[in-house]
Structure 1
């Protein structure tokens, strides 16, 4: 793999899975008022899909909201009137990716987000913070950017985001910065790049996909092939830096689908 004109070897046997493993029968994360993901045995005439209930095999019916239950990848179809299946995106087997750890900033301490719908105790992932960590990265921004927000705790694996403080979110300026870096695939460990309840404005989504501040038209979008992956979890032992990303998306013909991002370490070739 070539990164910034330098050749790297992908260590393909030691990837790190940064998806949340969704337990349909146990603790799991959720947000935006969505119910927990559920599983039940398939029952049709003469058959029950549960060996514990006398069935010949196990066969479950799964119910989930990809946007709200676990790691998922979104297409521009999330906010556009024109359908755009996420299954058609991120087709490259391996994508150069930069992993960065970024602290959130109290809304009242930042000059970013003027006019943004927010409350004083909100926290932002700012362009200033992203610029600072990118400048310290050896090879700079890549086609994929993985944002690990700080502090980073294991509770992110199971958090119910509807209870407790509003999760941090990107400032509009941060989204603009990612576009200027030509980031095509954004991955973040938050439930949304936007404020959970922002009166439907979705500033960061719109700016990242190149859409106007309002409306659902997408034909003029500058970035229809970009993706946003939310609710990842990056273990603390994984160091910031360059990786090869395998963005594995369930082949659902819809605007969002569960996904399994893998980060492969690199070494100089």
Structure 2
């Protein structure tokens, strides 16, 4: 069913019945992706004595599970600059709007020594003259195994510092990527891409022009059937008062009227 919405003084026609989900589900199986040296998530019923919160066990009328997970290491998540600052900032307070005009781009990381790096030139070439509110970066090759990879100690590709500067200077507020981090896995805590994207000069004393309303979403997966181009992005998070939250980014094809 097609509908029209007004966004930033533009009228957009969109079919909300055809969502394109680019999040990775969180499970307690070996299919769950993992980063940052932790184990897989735990999803298990609450136990009180001989009572088990699982209908199939025959001792409960409801399924009543505890879930233990880490948003940064266990799947698709959205984070604010509170991820790297001494002072606490919550993604739930930073992200107050949820629909954005987004550009999906596919890039091939460049070999630089022992690393694979997404360069400024690749991002600039992929965007052309477009200045969307959000950029969605799909790295190539785009194997489906990304949805269940164990990233720890594998030195995944990452975003070059000047590429993050370019994205920030282009006015893009929301960066989504199919990697566990925009930064190098072992970088001595420099976090250069994070800092440049959020314009954080000193994590201990936040500068006035730091981007409090900008977000980074990591560990997405965009299927090959989804073409590069412009989309309407719905970026939803769980209401955690934390630097990061599991999230469910959804794309919609649209046209301007």
Q: TM-score under structure 1 normalisation?
A: 0.88
Tell me whether 1:156 sits opposite 2:149 in the alignment: no
* Distance (Å, rounded) in 1 between the aligned partners of 2:106 and 2:36: 25
Q: For this pair of structures, how many residues does the alignment match?
A: 252
Deviation at 1:91, TM superposition (A): 2.4
5 Å-filtered alignment, 1:178-189, equals: 178-189=167-178
Deviation at 1:197, TM superposition (A): 1.2
* Distance (Å, rounded) in 1 between the aligned partners of 2:9 and 2:88: 37
Conserved 8 A contact 1:209-1:221: no
* Distance (Å, rounded) in 1 between the aligned partners of 2:203 and 2:240: 25
Conserved 8 A contact 2:200-2:207: no
* Structure 2 unaligned blocks of 5 or more: none
Q: Per the alignment, in what secondary structure is the counterpart of residue 28 of structure 1?
A: coil
CA RMSD of aligned residues (A): 1.8
Q: Per the alignment, in what secondary structure is the counterpart of residue 251 of structure 2?
A: strand
Q: Per the alignment, in what secondary structure is the counterpart of residue 253 of structure 2?
A: strand
Match of 2:191? 202
Conserved 8 A contact 1:95-1:245: yes
Conserved 8 A contact 2:33-2:75: yes
Residues 1:194 and 1:122: Cα distance change in structure 2 (over 3 Å): same
5 Å-filtered alignment, 1:175-254, equals: 175-212=164-201, 215-254=203-242
5 Å-filtered alignment, 1:71-82, equals: 71-82=76-87
Q: Per the alignment, in what secondary structure is the counterpart of residue 176 of structure 1?
A: helix
* Structure 1 unaligned blocks of 5 or more: 108-119
Q: Per the alignment, in what secondary structure is the counterpart of residue 145 of structure 1?
A: strand
Q: TM-score under structure 2 normalisation?
A: 0.92
Deviation at 1:7, TM superposition (A): 4.3
Match of 1:116? none
* Distance (Å, rounded) in 2 between the aligned partners of 1:215 and 1:8: 39
Conserved 8 A contact 2:30-2:40: no
The partner residue of 1:20 within 24, 27, 46 is 24
Tell me whether 1:166 sits opposite 2:155 in the alignment: yes
Residues 1:5 and 1:53: Cα distance change in structure 2 (over 3 Å): closer
Match of 1:83? 88
CA deviation digits over 1:12-50, x for unaligned, max 9?
111100000112234110111011111111112463112
Deviation at 1:268, TM superposition (A): 3.8
